[in-house]
């Protein structure tokens, strides 16, 4: 499993010979290492919720690459209305399989314009990744850890709109992944955070991988 951080909460995941984009907010993202137009190949695009900094360029990328657009029901309805034919509607609950990749949506404590905000679980080749989306801390993260046993968790740490570093550290206690990649911080002044401080808080629980936009972690 190869994870490339694209700034903010956007990531590219490569696993089982498939390319997956989660929350590809690139246009208007000052930290983005690439433009949306540079993405010419994708198999799956996943959207956790419809705020502009997460829905981002998802529809344009899905159209251009003929990728599956996977999200909760209301967002896939909007995608269909925007001319995207390959949609996989789902909701918080049981998993689906798309291109051989197992995908499940999890709760996230946040807001959205359509439907409920979510996190996402991706499972393939015996590896599990949890992208928390935008969320505050909630105790049922323990269940996410128990049910899915994520190898890698991508957690927001920027505060104000999501968990801050101290709440995210408690989330790590709940989930207990092998590796944690902090996301959703330092894109804008309102969400400034120090990932090194977060790393110190959880060093006895999980290994923290701090990625600059454009950098990749191979697992």
CATH of the domain at 151: 3.60.15.10
How many CA atoms does the CB half-sphere of 215 hold within 13 Å? Answer: 10
Give the pLDDT score at 52: 98
Quick check: is 145 in a domain? yes
Quick check: is 219 in a domain? no
Share of the chain above pLDDT 70, in %: 100
Quick check: is 119 in a domain? yes
Average pLDDT on 140-146 reads: 98
> For the chain, what is the mean pLDDT?
98
Average pLDDT on 76-95 reads: 97
Owning domain of residue 177: 2-210
For 41-69, the pLDDT digits (tens) are: 999 999 999 999 999 999 999 999 999 99
Q: How many residues does the chain have?
A: 219
Structural domains counted in the chain: 1
Distance of CA 156 to the CA centre of its chain: 9
| pTM of the complete model beyond 0.95 | yes
Give the pLDDT score at 21: 99
Distance of CA 72 to the CA centre of its chain: 14
Give the pLDDT score at 127: 98
Contact 61, 69 (CB under 8 A): no
Give the pLDDT score at 32: 98
Quick check: is 215 in a domain? no
Contact 198, 208 (CB under 8 A): yes
User: For residue 151, what is the DSSP state?
Assistant: S
Quick check: is 217 in a domain? no
Nearest-CA neighbor of 46 among 125, 110, 102, 126?
Answer: 102
Give the pLDDT score at 94: 96
Distance between CA 78 and CA 12 in Å, rounded?
23
Distance between CA 142 and CA 150 in Å, rounded?
11
Give the pLDDT score at 24: 98
> Edge-to-edge, what's the strand order for the sheet holding 118-124?
96-98, 101-107, 118-124, 127-131, 152-156, 179-183, 207-208
CA distances from 23 to 8, 51, 194 (A): 9, 10, 22
Distance of CA 159 to the CA centre of its chain: 16
């Amino acid at each position: 499993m190869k994870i490339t951080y694209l700034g903010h909460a956007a990531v590219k995941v490569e696993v089982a010979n498939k390319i997956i984009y989660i929350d590809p907010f690139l246009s208007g993202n000052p930290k983005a290492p690439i433009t949306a137009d540079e993405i010419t190949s994708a198999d799956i695009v996943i959207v956790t919720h419809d705020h502009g900094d997460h829905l981002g360029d998802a529809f344009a990328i899905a159209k251009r690459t003929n990728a599956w657009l996977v999200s909760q029901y209301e967002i896939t309805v909007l995608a269909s209305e925007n001319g995207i034919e390959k949609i996989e509607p789902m909701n918080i609950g049981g998993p689906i399989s798309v291109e051989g990749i197992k995908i499940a949506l999890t709760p996230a404590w946040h807001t959205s314009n359509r439907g409920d905000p979510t996190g996402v679980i991706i499972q393939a080749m015996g590896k599990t990744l949890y992208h928390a989306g935008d969320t505050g801390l909630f105790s049922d993260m323990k269940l996410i850890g128990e049910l899915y046993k994520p190898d890698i968790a991508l957690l927001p740490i920027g505060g104000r709109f999501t968990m801050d570093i101290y709440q995210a550290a408690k989330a790590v206690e709940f989930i207990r992944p092998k590796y944690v990649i902090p996301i959703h911080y330092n894109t804008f002044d309102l969400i400034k955070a120090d990932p090194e401080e977060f790393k110190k808080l959880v060093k006895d629980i999980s290994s923290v991988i701090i990625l600059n936009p454009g950098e990749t972690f191979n697992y």
